[in-house]
Structure formats: C-alpha cells, structure tokens
Chains A and B, each alone.
Chain A
Amino acid sequence: MVSIDGRADSKSLIRARGLGKTYRRGGEQIHVLQGLNLDVDASDFVAFMGPSGSGKTTLLNLLGGLDVPSEGSVTVAGDEITRMSGAKLTAWRARHVGFVFQMYNLIPVLTAFQNVELPLLLTGLSKAERRSHVETALAVVGLDDRMRHYPRQLSGGQEQRVGIARAIVADPTFLLCDEPTGDLDRKSADEVLDLLDRLVRDHGKTVLLVTHDPRAAEHARLILHLEKGVLVESVTASPPR
C-alpha cells in the first residue's frame, strides 16, 4: 500500500516524513521539495510523474541516499538513512538500493558481465558465486547471450536491460528507476517496462519509477503526481499484470 498523508503505520518499507529539499542559488532559496510524506510497502510499484523541475528526481535521490534532505527524514526497513554518515550511507546503498538510470550509466570499458558484477564486488561472494549471480541476473533480463559484449555493441534497450540486471544482481531491498525509458524507442521501452512488471510480480521487488511518459506510468500500481515539490494526488493505475 502507498500513502502520502503521513498517517500510515510504521510497517511500511519506505517512509518519508516532512521531507524537504532547498537549494540556494545566489541569494535565492529554491524549495524543490516541501513537507513531503510518503509510505511505500514492500513489493509495491509506484510511479512519480510531474513537470520538469517538480522535484521527482530529487525525491528519488533522497529516497536512495544519494542526497541529503534539508529537512525531514527517510526511513527504509527501519533504518533512518537521513541520520547516516557518508560512509555508512554508501554501504547502505550497496546493500539496499538498485539504481536504473535514464542513460543506462554502464561503464563503457567493461563488458555486460563485468558491469553487472560491479555491485557484487562489494559483497563477500566468491568469484564462482558472483559468476552464478551475474548469469542469473542476465538471464532474468534475457541477455545471457550478450555477457561478453561491451555497451557499444548493444542496442539502447539491451543496455538498459543490462542496467536493470546490474540493479537487481545483489538482490536490493528496492529499485529506483529514473526515467528508465526516456532514451528508448517504444518497443524497447515496452520491453523494459514489461521487465519491471515481472520483477514486481514474479520476484516481489519494490520499484519506484520516475517518468514523464504516461504509458510508462501506467505499469505502476499507483501513480503519484508532484507539482512544485508537493505530492498533490495519487491515481491508482491498472492492476498488476
């Protein structure tokens, strides 16, 4: 269940309370997010929509521990990440968050296998165990035959699927997807969105998606709209496919 009124019980997986982010540009203060409350349960698929500058990516960065809020708190699985030190937050990200980026953000000089293996280098897994995990993740995204390919040898859709494999390979608590279809054609975008659907439906993953594309947002169970840094409404999308 997803809630934005700040009254949900404490069992929710992700909980934001009074979340605010203010940037200072010159002498001017820019409030990107203000007093935002959010509760997301495990295995939910939530889409955030809104015009450019509404604070979608900033919200994702705060929930993923990539940025620190000016006010408020974020608690994930009982850990208040907004109180963590830089090093602790880095370790927390490695354990709990899988990131999927609009521009895929693959390392161009590493193969698909090596890109997917990166998060596992931060675990205590043996080389053989890492290999097994990477092969499984690439099989989930349908690219087990492209392991030795470099990003430049893959299509945009395939690159994004490698990006998703990298995000899920260490079995994180939740996935944060920032415009994952923003740079893809319709067909590739549909493949990526279907993949996210399957991750929620078949593997019980929790997915938070930022998108401009209403068709992409329709894949989520709930669509939240952001306007000028405030969550203004929620729309229940189609039931999970």
Chain B
Amino acid sequence: MAIPLSYNVRSLAARWTSTVVAVLGIAGTVGVFVAMLSLARGFEATLVASGSARNAIVRRAGATSEMDSSVMLEQVRVVEDAPGVERGDSGPLVSPEVVVIASFPLRGRGVEGNAQVRGVSLKALAVRPTVKIVAGRAFQPGLSELLVGRNVAASYEGLELGQTVRFGGGTWTVVGVFDSGGTAYDSELWCDYSVLRQVYQRPLNMFQSATARLTSPAALTGFKDSLTSDPRVTVQIDREIDYYAKQSRQLTTLITVLGSIIAVVMGIGAVFGALNTMYSAVSERTREIATLRAIGFGSGSIVVSFVVEALCIALVGGLVGCAVVLPLNGLTTGTINWQTFSHLAFAFRVTPGLLAMGLAFALLMGLVGGVPPAVRAARAPIAFALREL
C-alpha cells in the first residue's frame, strides 16, 4: 500500500510558506496561459459565430476577403437564380453588400479606430436572422441613416442612437441599434448600399460580396457547383461560417503562439519554484524518508508519494489560476481584425476546455518539478539519511 496521502497534505500545510510560493508561481502561469487562450478563443468564436452554416458568401475568385473582392450586379442576378437559394416574400434571399472602412474616435482613448461600414439592403436582416434590432429602427432606403451594432456605441464616440456623424463626405444619423448575439457584426455600421456607393463614389453596379441564404446547409454543394460551372460568373463560394473561421485564423494563431511562449517561459520559472519547494521538502525530511524506507516502504512508494505531493501543489496552483481568470469570461475587449483593418470588439471566452488545459498544464509543471526531488528522496542511502538532523 502507498504512503497515506494525509502525510503529504499535512507536510505541505506544515511548510505552508514555501508551499504558498510554489502555488502562486503555478497559479500565475496558469492564469496567463488560460487568459491568453481565452482571448484567442473569444476572437475566434466572435468571428466564427458571425457565419451561418446555411449562408454562402460569394466573392470574386481569388479575393482573400470582402475588402479586395468585387461582384457585379449581373453576377448577383445569376446568384439569385442559382439552385438552393431560399426564397422569401421579397424574392430570393440574397444580400449584395458593399464594405468600406471609416475611422471614428475611440471612446476614452483620444485616437481614432477603423470601423467596418457595410452597405446592405433590408434583405440583409432576412439573410441573417440572428441580427435583431434592439433600439430604434432600420435605416430607410435612400437616406443617410445608420443601423449600428451594439458594440459600436460602446467603442466609439458620437455613434449613439440619435447622434449625427460625418464620414465619407456625408452626414449620417444613427437611427437604430442591432444585436447579432456577440458576433463580428456587432462592431459594424450598416446602411443602405446605394447611399454608401454614392458617398464613396463607387460604381453603381458593383458590390463586394453577395451572401445567399440557402434552403439548408446541404444545399451548398448544388449552389456552389452551379455557380462555379457557370461561364457568366467567376466567383469563389464559401460557407459563411468557414469564411469567418479563415478570417480569424491569423490573429488566433498569433495570440495562441504568443500566449504559449509566455506561458512556457513563465512555466519554466514555476517549475523551478516547484523544484525548489520539493527539493527543500526532501532535504528537510531526509530522516523521515529514511525512516519510511527502513520500515519497508520501497523506492517506488517514496517516488509516488513525493510526486503526488508536487501534484497537490500544482493542482491547487492550477485551481487558483483558473479561479482568478474565470471573472474574465464575457469581458469585452477589442482589437484590429487584420483581415478587414477594422476594430473588432469581442469577449474573453473562458471555456471548460481551456480550464481543463490550464489544470493539465499545472499538473505537467508539478510533474516536472516533482520527479527529480522524489527520485533523490528514494535514492539517498538509508543508513546515512537516518542520522540526518
């Protein structure tokens, strides 16, 4: 039978100062690790949630994003006639859209930030049923009116309901606020595409993308095959959810890699903390360990006992680190989306999976910090160790 766990737990409590130092080292590392990953997850989730499995986004073949894409009016007509497109009261649910970047003063920062302004028709609301108007009303076609995402007023000055703002050579009035459920659209300003094209002097028959609502997610294949084999159009088609996942990949990868590097560097420090704690534990208890071995506990029992002790420290550290980061869940922050060069508000997402990863990372640190001292404890000559004070 193994050495009782109560021996380890009480020994840790008896040496509480060094235990606390090791716990804090691991907690800090786990906290940073989980916080960075929750930032990446939040960004990714915000963009991925922007897409729907039932929507297909049509862009010019070869375009990397909507910003460098163009879709002509004739092509939009072909898209509308393609198989698999859902039809509503107002005809096929296809939303041709124009996207521009405009800068507005960021709230409380004294600098300007880019926001994505999306020119749409009112069909856009039918194509994206998750978008709900929560205050005011929709823009009226032909007027310089803005319907803004719920994060816009919080991120920028002068974009609250009823306020007037100048950009692109026009004067616009905010007439409504919409909520898209925490997606990227919540950081956008929507308006009538025809007005936006005039203000920005864009060709009147040109859009940048067309988003089609399909009858079902499975309808994408037929829709795509039809358009890619049609000689009248040269377009690329993505399921909307995949398009946004691709958009999120660059920054998500960057945050994940940076977060991991920081966590690994901090983790090395935390491992040394755990090593120090466990080596001093072994050193202080040389005679106790020798006594246990004299009584008949084998080297394996000793190693397991001290590794378990290190893992106890790591587990507590991991739990503390996770507990500290948990309040970040849902906290909104913002960054530049490098695919669209516009400001994107998103919330930290501290998921159960990330917490499990944090705990696993903590236990790994405990294992690395616990094994060498445990092996030393098991290898010391008993006869000499029994005489240690």
- Residues of B contacting A206 in the complex (Cβ-Cβ under 8 angstroms): none
Bound: A58/B293 CA distance, A = 17
| B103 CB, nearest partner CB in chain A, Å | 65
- Residues of B contacting A122 in the complex (Cβ-Cβ under 8 angstroms): 1, 295-297
Q: Which residue of B lies closest to A58 (CB)?
A: B383
A105 close to chain B: CB less than 8 A: yes
Contact with B along A94-126 (1 / 0, CB 8 A): 110001010101011110001000110110000
- Give the contacting residue for A87; candidates B291, B292, B298; CB below 8 A: B298
A64 close to chain B: CB less than 8 A: yes
Bound: A137/B121 CA distance, A = 90
Bound: A58/B381 CA distance, A = 13
- Give the contacting residue for B381; candidates A67, A118, A166; CB below 8 A: A67
| A115 CB, nearest partner CB in chain B, Å | 10
B386 close to chain A: CB less than 8 A: yes
* B298 near A99: Cβ-Cβ < 8 Å: no
- Give the contacting residue for A86; candidates B287, B296, B297, B299; CB below 8 A: B299
Bound: A66/B292 CA distance, A = 12
- Residues of B contacting A93 in the complex (Cβ-Cβ under 8 angstroms): 294-296
Bound: A86/B321 CA distance, A = 42
Bound: A109/B6 CA distance, A = 9
A30 close to chain B: CB less than 8 A: no
A61 close to chain B: CB less than 8 A: yes
- Residues of B contacting A128 in the complex (Cβ-Cβ under 8 angstroms): none
* B295 near A119: Cβ-Cβ < 8 Å: yes
| B3 CB, nearest partner CB in chain A, Å | 7
Q: Is the interface of B mostly helix, strand, loop or mixed?
A: helix
| B112 CB, nearest partner CB in chain A, Å | 63
- Residues of B contacting A86 in the complex (Cβ-Cβ under 8 angstroms): 299
- Residues of B contacting A114 in the complex (Cβ-Cβ under 8 angstroms): 4, 6
- Residues of A contacting B6 in the complex (Cβ-Cβ under 8 angstroms): 109-110, 114
| B26 CB, nearest partner CB in chain A, Å | 22
Contact with A along B285-308 (1 / 0, CB 8 A): 001100111111111000000000
- Residues of B contacting A105 in the complex (Cβ-Cβ under 8 angstroms): 287-288, 291, 386
* B381 near A99: Cβ-Cβ < 8 Å: no
Q: How many residues of B contact A (CB 8 A)?
A: 25
A90 close to chain B: CB less than 8 A: yes
| B388 CB, nearest partner CB in chain A, Å | 10
* B291 near A101: Cβ-Cβ < 8 Å: yes
Contact with B along A27-69 (1 / 0, CB 8 A): 0000000000000000000000000000000100100101100
Bound: A166/B292 CA distance, A = 11
- Given A86-B299, A114-B4, A121-B1, A101–B386 Cβ distance below 8 Å? yes
- Residues of B contacting A99 in the complex (Cβ-Cβ under 8 angstroms): 291, 294-295
* B291 near A108: Cβ-Cβ < 8 Å: no
- Give the contacting residue for A107; candidates B288, B296, B386; CB below 8 A: B288
* B4 near A66: Cβ-Cβ < 8 Å: no
Contact with A along B373-389 (1 / 0, CB 8 A): 00000000111001000
| B214 CB, nearest partner CB in chain A, Å | 65
Within residues 2 to 18 of chain B, which ones have a CB less than 8 A from any CB in chain A?
Answer: 2-4, 6-7, 10-11, 13-14
* B3 near A121: Cβ-Cβ < 8 Å: yes
| B85 CB, nearest partner CB in chain A, Å | 72
Q: Is the interface of A mostly helix, strand, loop or mixed?
A: helix
- Give the contacting residue for A67; candidates B2, B296, B383; CB below 8 A: B383
- Residues of A contacting B381 in the complex (Cβ-Cβ under 8 angstroms): 67
* B10 near A119: Cβ-Cβ < 8 Å: no
- Given A66-B382, A105-B386, A122-B296, A110–B3 Cβ distance below 8 Å? no
Contact with A along B122-142 (1 / 0, CB 8 A): 000000000000000000000
Within residues 233 to 260 of chain B, which ones have a CB less than 8 A from any CB in chain A?
Answer: none
* B7 near A109: Cβ-Cβ < 8 Å: yes
Within residues 272 to 291 of chain B, which ones have a CB less than 8 A from any CB in chain A?
Answer: 287-288, 291
Q: Which residue of A lies closest to B382 (CB)?
A: A66
- Residues of A contacting B13 in the complex (Cβ-Cβ under 8 angstroms): 109
- Give the contacting residue for B7; candidates A94, A107, A119; CB below 8 A: A107
- Residues of A contacting B296 in the complex (Cβ-Cβ under 8 angstroms): 90-91, 93-95, 119, 122
| A82 CB, nearest partner CB in chain B, Å | 14
* A118 near B295: Cβ-Cβ < 8 Å: yes
- Residues of B contacting A108 in the complex (Cβ-Cβ under 8 angstroms): 14, 288
Bound: A91/B299 CA distance, A = 11
* A118 near B386: Cβ-Cβ < 8 Å: no
* A110 near B382: Cβ-Cβ < 8 Å: no
Bound: A127/B80 CA distance, A = 78
* A107 near B291: Cβ-Cβ < 8 Å: yes
Among B1, B14, B287, residue most surrounded by chain A Cβ atoms (within 10 Å): B1
- Give the contacting residue for A121; candidates B4, B11, B14, B293; CB below 8 A: B4
- Residues of B contacting A107 in the complex (Cβ-Cβ under 8 angstroms): 7, 288, 291-292
Contact with A along B348-389 (1 / 0, CB 8 A): 000000000000000000000000000000000111001000
**Which residues of A does B touch, CB under 8 Å?**
58, 61, 64, 66-67, 86-87, 90-91, 93-95, 99, 101, 103, 105, 107-110, 114, 118-119, 121-122, 166
24 residue pairs bridging A and B, Cβ less than 8 Å apart: A58-B383, A66-B382, A66-B386, A86-B299, A87-B299, A90-B296, A93-B296, A94-B295, A94-B296, A99-B291, A99-B295, A103-B287, A105-B287, A105-B288, A107-B7, A107-B288, A107-B292, A118-B292, A118-B295, A119-B295, A121-B1, A121-B2, A122-B1, A166-B295
Closest 10 CB pairs of A and B: A94-B296, A109-B10, A105-B291, A67-B383, A121-B1, A61-B383, A90-B298, A66-B382, A66-B383, A122-B296
